[in-house]
């Protein structure tokens, strides 16, 4: 280490370790470090210097008096590009920072020069730390400092410009996606409101005509009115689904919480689908322990969840098949409700698609039962608003089982 400093040209692009001439007491204090280096197998101090020269990171070494005793070319390239005379060995750390500000590639900061220097100086004094800094030429450095057992400080400067650029690009893409999603949700909300007003009028007049409120309707027009009424109600249901999904995605769907009995809700939902099940000769069986499924939740939201699951089970069920609804308070305090059927089922790989908005499973069985693909995504979102989870197990030709699980903190007393 007792080698005089010399200018090193940057043109060769060869990293060199530039040590300084140090005093005899420094040489003595650094002897244990040299011995330790030489003790790493057969690695010599010269080999270590060559290794440091080959680094693409900048490196500097500061002695006990906080003076620069060694550095490599990459450090000079970061802070003093085109200046082979800088920095001078023996310069103090604070003087080095001011030199960078006056003559070199200074560090950018929105907090002002004094705050910037204080931040860098504070980390250096601790002898341990890590921080990212931006240089005036736009490059970003990750500065890592560690104190050696002998009290010297090693500083490593890593170019993280590409990493920061990727982070900025990801952050920008995320922001643009969030803006686009909000715009989509706002548009859907507006359009849904605009559609519902005239649609309600169409449904109302179609109902008046089909019921012949104003007198008999001749010819096939009564049937036409019934078709208009059925189609209008179906379209209104789709519009409501779109509006609900837009509210959920925008974070505007709020829960009106109360203590509700999930068993009672399941019984009401079963009554809603009873006629549909009877037409297909599907038996709906309930196994719900009385009073054991009390939880804090939005009654209308949960009724919609269970009704949708039962409706799907019947819609995709086999003629003369069955649907079973089971509820249980688990040992961990959570509340679970499952809807199982022996219907057409689906491929396990198609389950994630079924849970996506507008997801449609394309197979010969499901083509007979058309829909928007919004039912299950809305169910999943409403369950998640209750901090719950939805699990969907399915197999083609065997059936489907959907399990809702609500955490113990949602359970109410009385179970």
Region 360-364: mean pLDDT is: 59
pTM here?
A: 0.53
Indicate if 354 and 371 belong to the same structural domain: yes
Indicate if 35 and 175 belong to the same structural domain: no
Region 237-252: mean pLDDT is: 77
Which range among 60-64, 110-114, 213-217 shows the weakest confidence by mean pLDDT? 110-114
Predicted pLDDT of residue 43? 64
Residue 231 within any structural domain of the chain: yes
Q: Which of 23-27, 244-248, 369-373 has the highest mean pLDDT?
A: 244-248
Longest CA–CA span in the chain (Å) reads: 117
Predicted pLDDT of residue 363? 58
Write out the H or E segment, with its range, that includes residue 100.
Answer: helix 93-103
CATH number, domain containing residue 95: 3.30.450.20
Which range among 72-81, 114-123, 265-274, 359-368 shows the weakest confidence by mean pLDDT? 359-368
Predicted pLDDT of residue 353? 79
Q: Which of 15-24, 33-42, 169-178, 180-189 has the highest mean pLDDT?
A: 169-178
Higher pLDDT, 39 or 147: 147
Predicted pLDDT of residue 38? 42
**205: its two tokens:** 């007049």
Would the pLDDT of 278 be above 70?
A: yes
Predicted pLDDT of residue 415? 46
Indicate if 144 and 50 belong to the same structural domain: yes
Report how far residue 160's alpha carbon sits from residue 141's, in angstroms, rounded to the nearest whole number: 6
Report how far residue 158's alpha carbon sits from residue 30's, in angstroms, rounded to the nearest whole number: 26
Contacts (Cβ under 8 Å, ≥6 apart) of 298: 255, 256, 257, 258, 382, 385, 386
Report how far residue 191's alpha carbon sits from residue 187's, in angstroms, rounded to the nearest whole number: 6
DSSP string of 151-195, one letter each residue:
S-EEEEEEE-HHHHHHHHHHHHHHHHHHHHHHHHHHHHHHHHHHH
Predicted pLDDT of residue 332? 92
Indicate if 172 and 138 belong to the same structural domain: no
Indicate if 172 and 126 belong to the same structural domain: no
- Band (pLDDT 50/70/90 cuts) for residue 329 is very high
Write out pLDDT tens, residues 378-399.
899 999 999 999 999 998 889 9
The CA distances from residue 262 to 292, 375, 381, in Å, are 9, 19, 17
**108: its two tokens:** 């950018």
Residue 183 within any structural domain of the chain: yes
Predicted pLDDT of residue 152? 92
CA-closest candidate to residue 344, choices 368, 360, 326, 373 = 368
Looking at the structure of the chain, the number of domains it has is 3
Indicate if 151 and 183 belong to the same structural domain: no
Predicted pLDDT of residue 305? 93
Sign of the alpha-carbon torsion through 198, 202, 204, 208: positive
Would the pLDDT of 2 be above 50?
A: no
Residue 266 within any structural domain of the chain: yes
Residue 9 within any structural domain of the chain: no
**327: its two tokens:** 């509820």
Cβ(411)–Cβ(293) below 8 Å: no
- Band (pLDDT 50/70/90 cuts) for residue 371 is low
Would the pLDDT of 411 be above 50?
A: yes
Would the pLDDT of 308 be above 60?
A: yes
The last residue of a domain, from among 220, 249, 278: 249
Percent of the chain with pLDDT over 70: 84
**Any idea which residue has 């109902």 for tokens?**
207
Strands 389-395 and 399-406, sheet pairing = antiparallel
Kindly state the DSSP code that residue 6 receives in the 8-state scheme: -
Higher pLDDT, 30 or 333: 333
Which strands sit side by side in the sheet containing 107-108, from one edge to the other?
17-19, 68-72, 58-62, 153-159, 140-147, 128-135, 107-108
Would the pLDDT of 333 be above 70?
A: yes
Would the pLDDT of 276 be above 60?
A: yes
CATH number, domain containing residue 219: 1.10.287.130
Contacts (Cβ under 8 Å, ≥6 apart) of 321: 280, 281, 282, 283, 341, 342, 343
> What is the residue range of 131's domain?
17-159
The last residue of a domain, from among 249, 278, 313: 249
Which range among 149-153, 187-191, 226-230 shows the weakest confidence by mean pLDDT? 187-191
**Three-point CA angle 341, 346, 348, nearest 5°:** 110
The last residue of a domain, from among 214, 249, 284: 249
Residue 102 within any structural domain of the chain: yes
Mean pLDDT, the chain, integer: 81
Residue 6 within any structural domain of the chain: no
**76: its two tokens:** 């000079």
Cβ(142)–Cβ(130) below 8 Å: yes
Residue 4 within any structural domain of the chain: no
Residue 2 within any structural domain of the chain: no
Beta bridge mates, 153: 62, 147
Cβ(107)–Cβ(135) below 8 Å: yes
Indicate if 173 and 240 belong to the same structural domain: yes
Respond yes or no on whether the N-terminal peptide bond of residue 87 is cis (omega within 30° of 0). Answer: yes
Sequence length of the chain is: 415
**Any idea which residue has 């982070």 for tokens?**
167
Which range among 26-40, 182-196, 251-265 shows the weakest confidence by mean pLDDT? 26-40
CA-closest candidate to residue 237, choices 307, 151, 170 = 307
Which range among 51-55, 87-91, 261-265 shows the weakest confidence by mean pLDDT? 51-55
Indicate if 135 and 173 belong to the same structural domain: no
Indicate if 131 and 27 belong to the same structural domain: yes
Report how far residue 195's alpha carbon sits from residue 108's, in angstroms, rounded to the nearest whole number: 54
Percent of the chain with pLDDT over 90: 36
Region 191-216: mean pLDDT is: 84
Predicted pLDDT of residue 314? 92
Beta bridge mates, 230: none
Which range among 8-12, 102-106, 298-302, 409-413 shows the weakest confidence by mean pLDDT? 8-12
Indicate if 296 and 238 belong to the same structural domain: no
Cβ(289)–Cβ(329) below 8 Å: yes
Region 50-74: mean pLDDT is: 89
Indicate if 133 and 210 belong to the same structural domain: no
Collapse the DSSP code of 222 into the 3-class scheme (helix H, G, I; strand E, B; otherwise coil) and give the result: helix
Indicate if 27 and 133 belong to the same structural domain: yes
First-to-last alpha carbon distance for the chain, in angstroms, is 77
Beta bridge mates, 146: 128, 154
CA-closest candidate to residue 26, choices 52, 50, 61, 76 = 61
**Any idea which residue has 């689906």 for tokens?**
346
Reported as half-sphere exposure (CB side, CA atoms, 13 A), residue 154 has a value of 11
CATH number, domain containing residue 352: 3.30.565.10
Cβ(244)–Cβ(253) below 8 Å: yes
- Band (pLDDT 50/70/90 cuts) for residue 251 is confident
């Amino acid at each position: 280490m007792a080698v005089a400093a010399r200018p090193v040209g940057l043109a060769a692009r060869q990293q060199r370790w530039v040590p300084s001439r140090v005093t005899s007491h420094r040489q003595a204090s650094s002897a244990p470090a040299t011995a330790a280096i030489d003790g790493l197998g057969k690695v010599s101090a010269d080999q270590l210097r060559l290794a440091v020269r080959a680094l693409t990171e900048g490196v500097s070494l500061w002695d006990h008096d906080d003076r620069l005793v060694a550095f490599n070319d990459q450090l000079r390239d970061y802070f003093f590009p085109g200046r082979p005379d800088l920095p001078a060995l023996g310069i103090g750390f604070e003087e080095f920072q001011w030199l960078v500000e006056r003559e070199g590639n200074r560090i950018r900061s929105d907090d002002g020069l004094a705050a910037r220097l204080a931040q860098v100086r504070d980390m250096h004094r601790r002898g341990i730390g890590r921080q990212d800094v931006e240089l005036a030429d736009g490059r970003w450095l990750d500065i890592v400092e560690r104190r050696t057992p002998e009290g010297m400080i090693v500083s490593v400067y890593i170019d993280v410009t590409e990493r920061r650029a990727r982070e900025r690009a990801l952050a920008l893409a995320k922001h643009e996606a969030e803006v686009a999603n909000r715009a989509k949700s706002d548009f859907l909300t507006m359009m849904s409101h605009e559609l519902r007003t005239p649609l309600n009028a169409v449904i109302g007049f179609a109902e008046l005509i089909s019921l012949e409120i104003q007198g008999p309707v001749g010819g096939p027009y009564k049937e036409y009115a019934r078709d208009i009424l059925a189609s209008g109600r179906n379209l209104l249901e789709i519009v409501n689904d779109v509006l609900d999904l837009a509210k959920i995605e925008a974070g505007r769907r709020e829960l009106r919480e109360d203590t509700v009995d999930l068993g009672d809700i399941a019984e009401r939902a079963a009554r809603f689908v009873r006629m549909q099940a009877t037409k297909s000769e599907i038996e709906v069986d309930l196994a719900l322990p009385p009073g054991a499924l009390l939880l804090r939740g939005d009654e209308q939201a949960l009724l919609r969840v269970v009704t949708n699951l039962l409706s799907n089970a019947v819609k995709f069920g086999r003629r003369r098949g069955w649907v079973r609804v089971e509820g249980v308070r688990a040992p961990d305090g959570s509340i679970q409700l499952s809807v199982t059927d022996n219907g057409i089922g689906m491929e396990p790989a198609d389950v994630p698609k079924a849970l996506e908005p507008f997801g449609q499973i394309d197979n010969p069985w499901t083509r007979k039962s058309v829909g928007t693909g919004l039912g299950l995504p809305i169910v999943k979102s409403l369950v998640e608003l209750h901090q719950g989870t939805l699990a969907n197990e399915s197999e083609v030709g065997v059936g489907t089982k959907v399990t809702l699980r609500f955490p113990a903190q949602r359970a109410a007393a009385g179970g």
